[in-house]
Chains A and B, each alone.
Chain A
Amino acid sequence: MKRYSAFAVAREALRYHTGWERAWRSPEPKRRYDVIIVGAGGHGLATAYFLGKNFGITNVAVLEKGWLGGGNTGRNTTIIRSNYLQDPSAAIYEKARSLYETMSQDLNYNVMFSPRGVIMLAQTEHEVRGYKRTAHANALQGVQTEWIEPARVKELVPIINLEGPRYPVLGGLWQERGGTARHDAVAWGYARACSAMGMDIIQKCEVTGVRSENGRVVGVDTTKGAIDCDKLGMVVAGNCSHLSEMAGFRLPVESVALQALVSEPIKPCMDVVVMANTVHGYMSQSDKGEMVIGGGTDGFNNYTQRGSFHHIEETVRALNETFPMVSRLKMLRQWGGIVDVTGDRSPLISKTPVDNIFVNAGWGTGGFKAIPGSGWAMAELMATGHSPLAEEFSMMRFKEGKFIDESVAAGVAH
């Protein structure tokens, strides 16, 4: 792999950019790998990357039924933050956030991480209490956040209307080190690094069956033939129930559609990320100038990657009240992704009833921000059988009543 650098750009400029090589190889699958990862999204590729980087396991295949990063990795609103209430969540999201800080250097790939700061608006008295509590919890967890008053919110976000008709802004939870990153580049950067370590990324290769003998996985059937493996990692979103069924067990998740939309590009007007959980809307401005807007999930099971129109209407209506200037914007694109939601709104990074099958799923509405931390923990779990970061996220927690209850912790937008 040729390194990207300022020198490389200058060199290619002189020879009409004919020397750039493909960022990753697209090989045909081998008969057997030590580890197979299903799902070449951010989480799957990060898992493969850390298996190679931290544990020297490079005989790895990453299988993808569509194209690389074409699922929720390319559909999210790219927000990165770690201001969660519960200790296990704060630990893994903060690990992820800190890995994002050096990701461009580590991968030699510009992921455009922009630590511009994230505000979560408090628009009811309950939210005020909730976010103050989260700020205290974060102080104990070593996550740098603070409670800020409305005047400071206005200073950070001049376009905001503090005196909204329904929900006035009463303050906010401010994480200065949060921000955004280019989501495609995260998947592409990891893919390039994995390929350089000799791993095979096999796109358009759908898993059609999981083979196990005596309660232990031996391989998978795919649209490109059978492939054997010692260990199998299921790192998929939107299809994890379907995949686990092939392996003969069930996961405590339900799949629903989550939507986002972007406006036409405009001049820079907001240099932080603003989330308004009471009214189900969040917004940031991309480097291109588009306002990137995310909304809430539908209430019913759905695999179509299309959401209900009235949810968009609700989101835009809410944002109109909080950011009056948005009412003059044209929206360019709208799309949906399928998110897997668990009972406590926290993910599963877990061993499964079948030996040597591991699952990393159920990230619900907040997976992108966790990608490096999730890959780090999943790789550790797969390589050593134990990961301190992943321990609490075992699927056994539902049986034991050890929930990581973020659904009422006012730390999650959904």
Chain B
Amino acid sequence: MLILECPYCGVKAEETELAAGGEAHLKRFGPGSSDEEFHDYLFMRENPKGVHFERWRHANGCGKWFHAARCTMTLEVFGTYSAQTTEPPKEIQDKISEKRPNWTWRDVK
């Protein structure tokens, strides 16, 4: 059972309390962007085997959106953090590097 700690209300919520919201840190493209950029923004996801950043909503709790860093190969959770950021905070990145030495924060595509 997946358990994530909501960074807003501090509750350790299990999966049935949460709603998954897909990949986090997407850069949005709209009017004025190229077809390529718009296509990638809409349909291309990282889908990594390993470290994944994603959006979750504490749906049956405080109702707020937050971010989580998780491994898709082991379901290990590296941590959760506020959604008011464009990239994972340094302590989360350091924590991941400690456990996955070859890992690097991707360029946001």
* Interface, chain A (partner B; CB < 8 A): 239, 241-242, 250, 252-255, 298-304, 306, 308-310, 342-343, 398-399
Contact = CB atoms under 8 A, between A and B. Distances in A.
Given A308-B1, A399-B35, A301 B72 contact: yes
B108 interface: no
Contacts of B48: 241, 301
B26 to A, nearest CB: 13
29 contacts: A239-B49, A241-B48, A242-B49, A252-B44, A252-B45, A253-B47, A254-B22, A254-B47, A255-B47, A255-B72, A299-B19, A300-B2, A300-B20, A300-B54, A301-B48, A301-B52, A301-B54, A301-B72, A302-B72, A304-B75, A308-B1, A308-B15, A309-B1, A310-B1, A310-B15, A310-B16, A343-B42, A398-B42, A398-B43
Nearest to B21: A299
A301 B74 CA distance: 11
A342 B42 CA distance: 11
A399 B39 CA distance: 6
Contact of B49 (A303, A308, A309, A399): A303
B56 to A, nearest CB: 8
Contacts, number: 54
A301 B42 CA distance: 17
A276 B39 CA distance: 34
Interface in B22-81: 22-23, 35, 39, 42-45, 47-49, 52, 54, 70, 72-75
Interface of B: 1-2, 15-16, 19-20, 22-23, 35, 39, 42-45, 47-49, 52, 54, 70, 72-75
Main SS of the interface on chain A?
A: mixed
Nearest to A306: B75
A151 B75 CA distance: 46
B73 A304 contact: yes
B39 A302 contact: no
Given A242-B49, A253-B47, A303-B49, 10 more contacts: A241-B48, A250-B44, A253-B45, A254-B22, A254-B47, A298-B20, A300-B2, A300-B70, A302-B75, A310-B15
Contact of B45 (A254, A299, A302, A304): A254
A308 B2 contact: yes
Contact of A303 (B1, B15, B22, B73): B73
Contacts of A239: 49
Contacts of B42: 343, 398
B34 to A, nearest CB: 11
B52 to A, nearest CB: 5
Contacts of B23: 301
A298 B73 CA distance: 15
Contacts of B45: 252-254
A308 B22 CA distance: 16
A306 B74 CA distance: 10
Contacts of A304: 72-75
B1 to A, nearest CB: 6
A301 B73 contact: no
Nearest to B52: A301
A309 B16 CA distance: 10
Contacts of A308: 1-2, 15
Contacts of A301: 23, 47-48, 52, 54, 72
Which 9 A-B pairs have CB atoms at the shortest separation, nearest pair first?
A299-B20, A252-B43, A241-B47, A300-B20, A398-B43, A343-B43, A303-B72, A301-B72, A399-B39
A182 B1 CA distance: 32
